[in-house]
Amino acid sequence: MGEWKKTGCVLCAQNCGLEVMVENNRIVKVRGDRSNGKSQGYLCRKGMNIANFQHNADRLKYPLKRVGSGFARISWEQAIDEIAEKLKTVVDSHGPRSFAFMGGGGQGSHFEAAFALRLLRGLGSQYHYSALAQEFSGYFWVNGRTFGRQSFHDVPDVAETELLLVIGWNGMQSHQIPQAPKELQRLARDPDKLLIVVDPRKSETAKIADLHLPIRPGTDALLLRVMIAIILRNGWENREYLAAHTSAFDRVRSLFLDFDAEAAVKVCELDFGRVTEVSRLFATRKSSLRYDLGIFMNRHSAVSSYLATILLAICGRIGTRGGNVFPGHLMPLGGHSDESNPKTWHAVASGLAPVLGTFSPNIMPEEIMTDHPDRLRAVIVSGSNPLRSYADTQAYEEAFKRLDLLVTVEVAMTETAAMSDYVLPIRSGYESHDGTFFAVTYPEVYFQMRQPVVEPEGEPLESGEIYLRLADRLGIVPPIPESLHQAAAAGTAPFGKALMQYAMTEPAALKNIPFVLGKTLGKAMGSVHKSLLWGLLQNTPKSFRENAARAGFPADFTLAETIFRTLTDHPEGIAIGRLDPDRNMEELRTEDGRINMHIPELIDELAAIDAAREELALAPDPAFPLVLMAGRHTSMNANTLMRNPEWNKGMRPCTLAMHPADAEALHLLDGQRVRITTEAGSEEIELEITDTARQGHVAIPHGFGLVYDRKAHGVNVNRLTRNTHRDRFGTPMHRYVPCRVEAL
Ligand SMILES: Nc1nc2c(c(=O)[nH]1)N[C@H]1C(S)=C(S)[C@@H](COP(=O)(O)OP(=O)(O)OC[C@H]3O[C@@H](n4cnc5c(=O)[nH]c(N)nc54)[C@H](O)[C@@H]3O)O[C@H]1N2
Ligand SMILES: Nc1nc2c(c(=O)[nH]1)N[C@H]1C(S)=C(S)[C@@H](COP(=O)(O)OP(=O)(O)OC[C@H]3O[C@@H](n4cnc5c(=O)[nH]c(N)nc54)[C@H](O)[C@@H]3O)O[C@H]1N2
Ligand code: SF4
Ligand SMILES: [Mo]
């Protein structure tokens, strides 16, 4: 008989609570966990199919080393020895800029990041590449300027909002807020609330909305500028809020006054009356805004984020109940990267700086291919599948061949792993102690530390353990006295005291704290990740402790230990804090505590976004008359995480969606094979004719092109994207890829 165990879903940033029935060490049934405060029993079709992620033929069991065109099984000792030796040789001969780490735990397992980034820093490198920097760079960079830190992440206060304006987000499929479909349907059904969706397609979210503005693809910046102009022109702005909570608005106001809003709306192919009504409602209701990849991965990405903040701020909707608010967290997703600080590295070929500590995956191929003496020569990839996930698969294939060392840390034999010199198996999210730092709840702050629910097969390690072993072998971990090991074995209380003493005598201790913890307490606890959790809780900021006290935790020296115990006793996750909704503005980290409305670096681009120039820029190239949305996130993909294609059996998971009028003009029929061509390449794919598509706009889902059992499943959309089709922060414009479609 099986046993129900509590865990969480590792397939998207919501990390819903799950209960899984485990029988003979296999997950055989799944249900939503009602005791998880965040998801309250909700789960989607991906979570329901989690067994296909956990149990599939591609799972890795042993460390592997490339031998000829195949792999040979090796021991962990040999793997760590050889990789450490090669890393050392590369870094000694070419300097620390020759080494990069890519990844950080993906959607469900972030504890490895602390260890991997410590190893990176220990070798002297700052080159951390991650998926965050191919979607959010512009947004986080803007937040650094407007809110004071790049780690700010504003979210709509969905529970209290009266009007949710959605731009380029398809929450009905992609979630991105807890229990998104339930919440969106609640708003849509409530006669006193409004859901307004701006999307070129009749997306699943647009379908249920009170109002859908079917915008011309790529014109959202123009629309946002129009909305701000309309609000100011009509005097609908919140002057009291502007005076109390913003600075430098007078320096940007004129950008919206001397501006032909009527002409601009025509370019967006929308109705001026409707846009005016939406602007009025947004300015006068308890409104909030949610925008996502439709904007982030599009033209004028950063300026759109900037405009979104201006729109919210002039309506007084930031840091206010029912508006856009700042959630709390145990750990922010990354640090603030100040590109003007001479200590901050810029990549040598592209010149790009990091945002939130991470570099854009779009630039990695050229950072490897450049002839610069400091070019990249060694890369560790973990929790990332660049060969399918990032723009320009061909460029990656070429570049990776040129590396001296490519190591992939994985649960499965991915397309990237298959190209690597070494493949290191880790325990999956269901075989290890782990958790995520995706914090998108308000006012409650939740955290879940998952515990293993199945036994690993073979010899995979907890991911953090791999970096600890490499660091140890490379001499990065400071010497640890026997007394600290003994204290760890005696329990956390004696360990805490011994650790303090050790840190006073060993200067390298604090810097390398994840390794010190992992080697001592981690060993005693049987999990380096668990020891890191304990360590994180010892060193929390005042705001965290205040939030914790509001959630009922003791406001004294026992706090860290109490939260640690509660988390370990409650694998379903708990509320570790509660924000004070009346003090959300105090979270701001600008010098004057106000929202900074003036970003000089973006003003020229913003000022140039007007009807005439946009019309010109959008005029299609006759060779590529259609716009491809390269990477729809649908219920049939979970990034590249689902390796077993069984879970979409009997469905049409990877098609090219096209409007009936376009299909008719091209004499194409539903179900037939077509060829799609972009500047990057050409692919054959099944056509799906649907009135959810917009005329002139076609879409292919993200995440396919899976090679499983030597067979390819669906089209890898990144064979159709060029990594040079990106903005100044390195963000790809996957939502605006010019293309043509032909019958085969
Ligand atoms: N089912 C499922 N859910 C997922 C994922 C998954 O793979 N599958 N992945 C997760 C991840 S990592 C992420 S980042 C999120 C992404 O979540 P979303 O951002 O919601 O995903 P997209 O499918 O890109 O949807 C954005 C919407 O933008 C619209 N759009 C396209 N072009 C434009 C435009 O020019 N203007 C406007 N206004 N809209 C436009 C699209 O039609 C689409 O409806 O999803 C997460 N959730
Ligand atoms: N053209 C196009 N490309 C896109 C998108 C698009 O819309 N269009 N969407 C983009 C978006 S928003 C994102 S976020 C990226 C995501 O792309 P990636 O960053 O590559 O992330 P995933 O596909 O989620 O997962 C990558 C790998 O993590 C491994 N993995 C699973 N569990 C663990 C674990 O516990 N630890 C570790 N270390 N590894 C694990 C999986 O086996 C998988 O191979 O894709 C992007 N790619
Ligand atoms: S995929 Fe996301 S929304 Fe679906 S069950 Fe998993 S965490 Fe929840
Ligand atoms: Mo993403």
**pLDDT tens digits, residue range 218-247?**
999 999 999 999 999 999 999 999 999 999
Nearest ligand by distance to the CA of 300? 1
Between the CA of 633 and the centroid of ligand 1 the distance, in Å, is 5
pLDDT tens by residue, 389-433:
999 999 999 999 999 999 999 999 999 999 999 999 999 999 999
Q: What is the reported pLDDT for 170?
A: 98
Beta bridge partners of residue 629, listed in sequence order: 699
Distance in angstroms (rounded) separating the CA atoms of residues 180 and 290: 12
CB distance 350 to ligand 3 below 6 Å: no
Confidence of residue 439 (pLDDT cuts 50, 70, 90): confident
H or E stretch at 20: strand 17-23
Between the CA of 634 and the centroid of ligand 1 the distance, in Å, is 8
CB distance 717 to ligand 2 below 6 Å: yes
Question: Is pLDDT of 487 > 80?
Answer: yes
pLDDT-above-70 percentage for the chain: 100
Task: Give the dihedral of Cα atoms 54, 56, 61, 64; nearest 10 deg.
Answer: -120
Between the CA of 385 and the centroid of ligand 3 the distance, in Å, is 20
Catalogue the E-assigned strands of 579-729: 595-596, 626-632, 655-658, 673-677, 682-689, 697-701, 706-708, 711-713
Between the CA of 565 and the centroid of ligand 3 the distance, in Å, is 26
CB distance 384 to ligand 2 below 6 Å: yes
CB distance 387 to ligand 2 below 6 Å: no
Distance in angstroms (rounded) separating the CA atoms of residues 198 and 631: 18
Contact 64, 407 (CB under 8 A): no
CB distance 432 to ligand 2 below 6 Å: no
- pTM exceeding 0.95: yes
Longest CA–CA separation in the chain, Å: 78
Three-class secondary structure of residue 256 per DSSP = helix
Distance in angstroms (rounded) separating the CA atoms of residues 720 and 680: 5
Atom of ligand 1 nearest to the CA of 627: 32
Atom of ligand 2 nearest to the CA of 131: 19
Q: What is the mean pLDDT of residues 111-124?
A: 98
CB distance 276 to ligand 2 below 6 Å: no
Distance in angstroms (rounded) separating the CA atoms of residues 454 and 431: 5
Nearest ligand by distance to the CA of 633? 1
Looking at residue 192, its amino acid is D
CB distance 319 to ligand 2 below 6 Å: no
pLDDT tens by residue, 507-520:
999 999 999 999 99
Atom of ligand 2 nearest to the CA of 643: 42
**Minimum CA distance residue for ligand 1 atom 17:** 174
Distance in angstroms (rounded) separating the CA atoms of residues 437 and 738: 36
CB atoms closer than 10 angstroms to residue 416: 26
Beta bridge partners of residue 578, listed in sequence order: 444
Substitution site in 226, 270, 293 for ligand 1 pocket (most atoms within 8 Å of beta carbon): 293
Residues 6+ apart with CB under 8 A from 283: 231, 236, 237, 238, 314, 315
For residue 371, the 8-state DSSP code is -
DSSP code per residue over 119-155: HHHHTT---EE-GGGGTSHHHHHHHHHHTS-TT---E
**Minimum CA distance residue for ligand 2 atom 37:** 383
HEC secondary structure over 524-554: HHCCHHHHHHHHHHHCCCHHHHHHHHHCCCC
Confidence of residue 527 (pLDDT cuts 50, 70, 90): very high
Beta bridge partners of residue 407, listed in sequence order: 380, 422
The mean pLDDT of the chain is 97
Residues lining ligand 1, CB < 6 A?
Answer: 12, 46, 135, 167-170, 173-176, 198-201, 203, 215, 217-218, 220, 292-295, 298, 629, 632-635, 637-639, 702-703, 735
Q: What is the mean pLDDT of residues 622-626?
A: 98
Atom of ligand 1 nearest to the CA of 173: 1
CB distance 44 to ligand 3 below 6 Å: yes
For residue 707, CA distances in Å to 142, 473, 703 come to: 38, 35, 11
Contact 740, 648 (CB under 8 A): no
**Domain ranges (residues) in the chain:** 3-55, 68-121+422-436+444-578, 138-329+592-607, 620-743
Residues lining ion ligand 4 (Cβ < 5 A) are 135
**Minimum CA distance residue for ligand 3 atom 2:** 12
CB distance 680 to ligand 2 below 6 Å: no
Substitution site in 48, 54, 175 for ligand 3 pocket (most atoms within 8 Å of beta carbon): 175
Nearest to 293, CA basis, from 205, 363, 189, 187: 205
CB distance 389 to ligand 2 below 6 Å: yes
- Is the omega angle on the peptide bond into residue 443 within 30 degrees of 0, that is, cis? yes
Pairing of strands 128-129, 99-103: parallel
Three-class secondary structure of residue 482 per DSSP = helix
For residue 215, the 8-state DSSP code is P
Nearest ligand by distance to the CA of 33? 3
Q: What is the reported pLDDT for 610?
A: 98
Structure tokens at 352: 């790009």
Give the domain 138-329+592-607 fold. Dimethylsulfoxide Reductase; domain 2 (3.40.228)
Q: What is the reported pLDDT for 395?
A: 98
**Minimum CA distance residue for ligand 1 atom 46:** 174
**Minimum CA distance residue for ligand 2 atom 43:** 641
Beta bridge partners of residue 369, listed in sequence order: none
Contact 108, 434 (CB under 8 A): yes
Task: Give the dihedral of Cα atoms 282, 204, 40, 188; nearest 10 deg.
Answer: 40
Contact 99, 123 (CB under 8 A): yes
Nearest ligand by distance to the CA of 169? 1
Nearest to 150, CA basis, from 261, 310, 305, 321: 305
Q: What is the mean pLDDT of residues 169-179?
A: 97
Substitution site in 175, 641, 644 for ligand 2 pocket (most atoms within 8 Å of beta carbon): 641
Atom of ligand 3 nearest to the CA of 638: 1
Between the CA of 717 and the centroid of ligand 1 the distance, in Å, is 14
Contact 307, 228 (CB under 8 A): yes
Q: What architecture (CATH level 2) is domain 620-743?
A: Beta Barrel (2.40)
For residue 71, the 8-state DSSP code is E
CB distance 527 to ligand 3 below 6 Å: no
**Minimum CA distance residue for ligand 3 atom 7:** 15
Distance in angstroms (rounded) separating the CA atoms of residues 128 and 114: 12
Give the domain 3-55 fold. Phosphorylase Kinase; domain 1 (3.30.200)
Three-class secondary structure of residue 400 per DSSP = helix
Q: What is the reported pLDDT for 532?
A: 98
b/e map 454-489, b = 16+ CB within 10 Å:
bebeeebbbbbbbbbbbbbbbebbbebeeebbebbe
CB distance 168 to ligand 2 below 6 Å: no
Instruction: Report the range of poorest mean pLDDT among 160-169, 434-443, 453-462, 578-587.
Output: 434-443
CB distance 385 to ligand 2 below 6 Å: yes
Atom of ligand 3 nearest to the CA of 12: 2
Task: Say if 3-55 and 620-743 have the same CATH topology.
Answer: no
**Minimum CA distance residue for ligand 3 atom 8:** 16
Question: Is pLDDT of 472 > 90?
Answer: yes
Residues 6+ apart with CB under 8 A from 723: 362, 363, 365, 366, 390, 391, 392, 395, 732
Atom of ligand 1 nearest to the CA of 206: 44
Substitution site in 7, 10, 11, 177 for ligand 3 pocket (most atoms within 8 Å of beta carbon): 11
CB distance 9 to ligand 3 below 6 Å: yes
pLDDT tens by residue, 640-691:
999 999 999 999 999 999 999 999 999 999 999 999 999 999 999 999 999 9
Place of tokens 């070929």: 349
Substitution site in 389, 410, 419, 467 for ligand 2 pocket (most atoms within 8 Å of beta carbon): 389
Atom of ligand 3 nearest to the CA of 47: 5
CB distance 740 to ligand 3 below 6 Å: no
Half-sphere exposure of 272 (CA within 13 A, CB side): 10
Nearest ligand by distance to the CA of 182? 3
Nearest to 558, CA basis, from 621, 605, 493, 466: 493
Question: Is pLDDT of 258 > 90?
Answer: no
CB distance 466 to ligand 3 below 6 Å: no
Question: Is pLDDT of 440 > 90?
Answer: no
